[in-house]
Amino acid sequence: MAVGLLGRHGHGHGHSKSPSQNTPSPAEDIDDIDEVDGEGQNIILSLIGQLRAGADLSRITLPTFILERKSMLERITNQLQHPYILNEAHATKDPVDRFVQVVKWYLSGWHIAPKAVKKPLNPVLGEHFTCYWDNDDNTRSYYIAEQTSHHPPKSSYFYIWPEHHIRIDGTLVPKSRFLGNSAASIMEGVGFLKFLDIKSPNGEAEEYEITQPNMYARGVLIGTLKFELGDFAVIKCKDNDLICNIEFKTKGFISGTYNAIHGEIKKISTGKVLYEITGKWNEVLEIKNLSTGHKSVFFDAATAKKSPPKVRPIAEQGPLESRRLWEKVTNALGARDHTVATDEKFFIEDRQRAEARKREEDGVEFHPKLFKHVDNSPLEYVIYKDIDPLDVKKQTEQVFSIAPILPGQQFHEHFSIPAFKKNPHDTVAATATSTASAPAPGATPTPSGGLNDVSGLKSALPKTSSGTSAASVSGESDDEFVDAES
């Protein structure tokens, strides 16, 4: 559920803006950077001395023109921008049909990308990002992510839609490599989608394990830059004995086409293929029922309704929240001022190096604030708060006690405590009191509506059909940095 090097085919030419004009609004779509021009290609050619086949791109200084105006922590939300498909999957009663809908949802996120080949900003250690969706059925869903490791880079994320009992936990581990005339992002890591109210035979929530294809930027040194998804992704539901193997086909030198896939949904136990999926992930996908021979449109990127997430204003964000942390870089990228973008990027990198040296000198180990380490799990890190599996009100309260998500919410006084030290009851209860939670160091306080302000949070909650609040609010609370783009 994420991306490394990204882009759509086609050429777009936007308008230069001043940095002040490019601060993203809460729901602004910032996938708007132009294709690389000839000047950009010359910059790439200047990197030849740094590159060798198989080189680790974390040791390479990348030109800012190739950077996207989003951190990887935010870019992961691409997969979540068709919530209605996910809800349709949850509402489907038949296990096989439900699995088919999950596959459709998974494939729906890949067409959302910049117009050009772009690489998301690589999050710094401890960087975090939160956002939410106002869904069509008057409910809200929430997303929290944190960079839990720098070497290797690991992005941990959590998504929940309380009213529909949908939860996703994941860890993304991208590894960048230079392959001659191509740059690759090898997408390791895994995601787990759960339908909390649908029970498997063992009594646990129905679970889907999801992996990612790899990503390639072709023509890095010679030719035209092109983006490709390649290799395989797998969606597996052991509970229902179903698996989908999806091959993301790369174009050959002579034959083939861009963006094609071939997928098969089959029974794990017998290997019997039930459905075949073909087409282009950025255009139209078709599905064929092999038992009936019926073929139909599975997903059409041109007509799909996209729902970008909403984000709190930058003025309310802490210093390590993605949009505030990278604001000067992204503003400069939007204005096509690559000199300023490079300077601001280097400033962030130098600060991270200094903090890493200080930790080493003091013998201090970094620990994430929002995710805790777990043993014997491919995720390695999960959201630190235990989330009630079914109670919608409790789920919402517990999510709000982790970090600010909605406008007006503030950092509670326990936010800076490492996640592994936090007790579920350590966070401050949200009561109607005049004492506000202390903001995180460097955070900009808001005039009202903090996490301890019940009225402020209730007013921000979605309304039920009767007009009452959908939930009341009460709380409980690297090593060496090389390149922010590695």
Identify the domain containing residue 61 by its residue range.
Answer: 19-300
The verdict on 279 and 406 lying in the same domain is: no
User: Where does a domain end: 281, 300, 319?
Assistant: 300
- Domain check: are 142 and 285 in the same one? yes
In a domain? residue 364: no
Q: 196 is written with which tokens?
A: 């909390």
Q: What's residue 66's pLDDT?
A: 80
**Final residue of a structural domain among 248, 269, 300:** 300
- Indicate whether 275 and 422 sit together in one domain: no
Give domain status of residue 374, yes or no: no
> Is 30 part of a structural domain of the chain?
yes
Helix (H) / strand (E) element for 108: namely helix 95-108
Q: What's 169-198 look like in SS3?
A: EEEEEEEEEECCCEEEEEEEEEEEEEEEEE
The domain spanning residue 112 has which CATH number?
2.40.160.120
Q: Are residues 283 and 401 in the same domain?
A: no
pLDDT at 423: 59
Least confident of 84-88, 136-140, 223-227, 448-452: 448-452
Cis peptide bond upstream of 368, omega within 30? no
pLDDT tens for each residue of 356-377? 999 999 999 999 999 999 998 9
Whether 316 is covered by a domain: the verdict is: no
In a domain, 385, yes or no: no
Please indicate, yes or no, if residue 391 is contained in any of the structural domains: no
Q: Are residues 40 and 175 in the same domain?
A: yes
In Å, how far are 17, 61, 91, 440, 482 from 56, measured between CA atoms? 34, 11, 44, 35, 11
Average pLDDT on 395-421 reads 93
pLDDT tens across 103-143, in order?
Answer: 999 999 999 877 777 889 989 999 999 999 999 999 999 99
Q: Are residues 409 and 281 in the same domain?
A: no
Q: What are phi and psi of 44, to 5 degrees?
A: -60, -45
> Quick check: pTM over 0.85?
no
d(CA 404, CA 158): 14
Of the three residues 269, 300, 331, the one that is the final residue of a domain is 300
Q: Is residue 352 situated within a structural domain?
A: no
Residues 209 and 73 placed together within one structural domain of the fold: yes
Q: Looking at residue 30, what is its pLDDT?
A: 46
Kindly state whether residues 96 and 216 are assigned to the same domain: yes
| 210 shares a domain with 71 | yes
Work out how many domains the chain is built from and give that number.
2
Q: 336 lies in a domain?
A: no
Residues 38 and 144 in one domain: yes
Name the residue with higher pLDDT: 460 or 64: 64
Question: Residues with Cβ < 8 Å from 480, sequence gap 6 or more?
Answer: 151, 353, 356
Shared domain for 80 and 223, answered yes or no, is yes
